[in-house]
Amino acid sequence: MNIFADFLPEFMHFNAIDGANLILLLSIILLLGAMGGRLFQKLKIPQVVGYIVIGIIIGQSGLQLLRKEVITALDPVSQVALSLIGFLIGGELKIGVLKKYGKQFIGILLFEAIIPFIVVSIIVTLVSYLFTKDLNVSIALGIILGSISSATAPAATTDVLRENRTRGPLTTTVLGIVAMDDAVALILYAFSSSIASALLGNTNSSLGAQLLHLCYDVFGSILLGSVIGFLLSRFIKNVMTDEGRILAFSLGSIFLSTGICTLIDMDNILAAMSIGFFMVNFAPVKTRPTFSLVEKFTPPIYVLFFVLVGAKLNIWNVTIFVGVIALIYIACRTIGKTIGARMGSRITKAPETVRKYLPWCLLSQAGVAIGLSIAAGQTYSDTIGSTIILIITATTFVVQLLGPVCVKYAVNHAGECNLDICEEDIMKTCKVSEVTSGGISICDEASPAIVTDTTSLHEILDSFSHNHNLNYVVKNGEGKLSGIITLDHLKECLQMMDFSEGLMAMDILEPCPVTCNPDMLIPDVLKQFDENDTEALPITDENGMLLGVIEKPAVDHYLHAKVMELHKKIASLG
């Protein structure tokens, strides 16, 4: 039932996808999703929440602009998005980092995956039995939901980390955990499914057969991804120099792995993650820009993916029983993840920020959880299948909205926001006034970088020998710019004329037609340096009064110092 559907004209619904409809549909999803993400970002809420809310509004729970069959037809978008996420996560799993944090990863992973399985299985079984009075059905429902609760969605979590440019031990741990706990969930589901099948009389396959399929799924995906990663690295190393071609080959390789996994029933996330892992650890250094190029391609795919996640949810099909179990599932999963993450962190002696804030980063669930619920729905279609799908769908809606907010809270309080930046990132918002403070070039009357028209050559030479400035700006009696004296120009003047005590700044200055102001951004200043073939610019205010000089070495020093500060802060967090 949808209370909005009757109020919309028929032409607003997309019942089938042809060429024109597909283009129009994708444009609507991208534009509305981008606007929703931007709105929520302005409200200090992660943009991924905005994407999902837009999906809910135009999808099954809202206006139904996207019909169920259309959403199903766009499933390849979700597969591609998850593969891109897997590839970028694989790129974060550097062997050096794994050696440093490997013990922590494994310890935390086992606890944060197995504890929620135990808690959810026990509590859901007890509550379900109170409703159904059927012990077998209750145990089957409990252990299936318990196994699904182990999975954590990497998409929403990594989107928040990327949006906030995070870096540090918490970020590293989160990326490692969300990349690997889906494999634990698959193993738990295989065992739980075999037990549930025996309890419900649905024993179409043995435990051995399910474990064999699990090995095929996990190890086959890893092998496929590694092979494709090896071939991609060879291509890029031997024949690729153009960024456009590198991006085309990288995306083609990721899409190839996704298509093959879909065709032969393997895990596309693990395969793509293996490609990224191989590329970052075993491919030549020349191939490393692949990750930054692929990352630039991902934003519109993420918008499509999360809007479709929201569009799939139908919040009108929830009964009292489903509602109660869903609430219990969320509560027990959250408690289990919290206990498991903190216990694992304490046992493995993880940094304090990891112990304190990791549980906040493990709430989201989506792709693997929904996939396992659909598998359970097909396997147990006559018993608990539809109930599992409804519960996971409803809880996915809640945790996908709350999860990103909690991740942002965690990384913000852990002090890891805006640490994954380089000199280019700092430059984008850095102003002249920031560089010319802190002892690099002081813009005031006492600055040695400012001399008057009548300052003698002897004083200027003495200043060169005692101060770090290589360029001096000259002001007239009104305090305005007369010109500039550079070290190179001074040398030329001394070679061309006899040294005289009577020489003053006005005799050796050269004109400087280009200036900057304290609010000018550093990229604009660097552009002026290049265009005017100079390494110094006078700084003036809006009235033309001379304030000082900014030098290119000072800019380079400032940016390098800022990056070093961030590195020291990251090191202190670990």
How far apart CA 558 and CA 552 sit, in angstroms, is 10
With beta carbons less than 8 A apart as the criterion, state whether 241 and 235 touch: no
Phi, psi (rounded to 5 degrees) for 457: -60, -35
More confident residue, 309 or 498: 309
Average pLDDT of 202-230?
74
Least confident of 332-341, 517-526, 559-568: 559-568
With beta carbons less than 8 A apart as the criterion, state whether 415 and 573 touch: yes
More confident residue, 198 or 229: 229
DSSP string, 377-401: HHHTTTTTHHHHHHHHHHHHHHHHH
Helix axes 47-58, 154-163, angle to 10 degrees: 130
Residue 328: per-residue pLDDT: 93
With beta carbons less than 8 A apart as the criterion, state whether 307 and 29 touch: yes
With beta carbons less than 8 A apart as the criterion, state whether 430 and 440 touch: no
Residue 248: per-residue pLDDT: 80
Average pLDDT of 496-523?
75
The token duo for 406 is 């909690």
Average pLDDT of 538-545?
83
Burial 483-502 (b: 16+ CB within 10 A, else e): bbbbeeebeebeeeeeeeee
Residue 127: per-residue pLDDT: 93
Residue 445: per-residue pLDDT: 44
More confident residue, 211 or 508: 508
Give the CA-trace dihedral at 461, 466, 470, 475, to 10 degrees.
Answer: -60
Q: What is the pLDDT of residues 345-360, one digit of tens each?
A: 888 888 888 888 888 8
Query: 332 pLDDT exceeds 60?
Result: yes
Mean of per-residue pLDDT scores for the chain: 77
Average pLDDT of 516-527?
86
Average pLDDT of 435-449?
52
Query: 329 pLDDT exceeds 90?
Result: yes
CA 272 to chain centre: 16
With beta carbons less than 8 A apart as the criterion, state whether 356 and 131 touch: no
Tally of CB atoms within 10 A around 459: 14
pTM: 0.57
Q: What is the pLDDT of residues 22-77, one digit of tens each?
A: 778 888 888 888 888 888 777 766 676 677 788 888 877 777 777 777 777 777 77
Average pLDDT of 100-127?
87
Residue 97: per-residue pLDDT: 62
Q: What is the pLDDT of residues 454-486, one digit of tens each?
A: 777 777 777 766 666 777 888 887 788 888 877
Q: How many Cα atoms are found within 13 Å in the side-chain-facing hemisphere of 192?
A: 31
Residue 470: per-residue pLDDT: 74
Q: What is the pLDDT of residues 81-100, one digit of tens each?
A: 778 877 877 776 677 766 66
How far apart CA 350 and CA 327 sit, in angstroms, is 31
Kindly indicate the confidence band of residue 4, based on its pLDDT and cuts at 50, 70 and 90. very low
User: How far, CA to CA in Å, does 74 sit from each of 66, 190, 310, 370?
Assistant: 10, 28, 13, 16
Least confident of 140-154, 326-340, 429-443: 429-443
Kindly indicate the confidence band of residue 529, based on its pLDDT and cuts at 50, 70 and 90. confident
How far apart CA 460 and CA 351 sit, in angstroms, is 54
Cβ-proximal residues to 336 (8 Å cutoff; 6+ apart), any chain: 115, 116, 117, 118, 119, 120, 149
More confident residue, 114 or 313: 114
Q: What is the pLDDT of residues 264-282, one digit of tens each?
A: 877 777 788 888 888 777 7
pLDDT > 70: percent of the chain: 77
Average pLDDT of 106-133?
91
Q: What is the pLDDT of residues 360-390, one digit of tens each?
A: 888 887 666 776 776 677 677 678 877 887 7
CA 319 to chain centre: 36
Residue 1: per-residue pLDDT: 44
With beta carbons less than 8 A apart as the criterion, state whether 153 and 395 touch: no
pLDDT > 90: percent of the chain: 7
Query: 397 pLDDT exceeds 50?
Result: yes
Local structure of residue 516 (DSSP, 8 states): B
Q: Is 231 left (phi over 0), alpha (psi -120 to 50) or beta?
A: alpha
Residue 203: per-residue pLDDT: 55
Phi, psi (rounded to 5 degrees) for 440: -85, -55
Residue 420: per-residue pLDDT: 63
Query: 300 pLDDT exceeds 70?
Result: yes
How far apart CA 422 and CA 564 sit, in angstroms, is 10
Average pLDDT of 286-300?
74
User: How far, CA to CA in Å, does 535 sit from each of 65, 164, 554, 555?
Assistant: 58, 34, 10, 10
